[in-house]
Amino acid sequence: MKKIPYGKYTKEFRLETVKLVTDGGLSIPEASRRLSLAPSTLTNWVKAYKAGKLEEVGKNYRQLNDKEMEL
């Protein structure tokens, strides 16, 4: 899987990814490898989820257009 450079991950993707760690029993490093995410990114998402603020993560990033997604 290819990393999304400086893009905005969907709320659904962030939530499902966090659930792999919190409910699915995967470690942060393992989930990060499987999804090609930086471990620090996933760590931040898990912390935000536990604090009830996962919805606020990524609000300052812009949505990628189709051409950027292809790259």
Alpha helix segments (H runs only) across the chain: 11-22, 28-35, 39-50, 66-70
All domains of the chain in start order, with CATH? 11-70 (1.10.10)
pLDDT at 71: 60
- CA–CA distance, 3 with 38 (Å, rounded to integer): 9
What pLDDT digit, counting tens, does each position of 8-66 carry? Answer: 788 899 999 999 999 989 999 999 999 989 999 999 999 988 988 787 776 665 566 67
pLDDT at 33: 94
pTM of the predicted structure, to 2 decimals: 0.70
**Cα-flanking dihedrals φ and ψ of residue 11, to 5°?**
-60, -40
Rg of the chain over CA atoms, in angstroms?
Answer: 12
What pLDDT digit, counting tens, does each position of 8-21 carry? Answer: 788 899 999 999 99
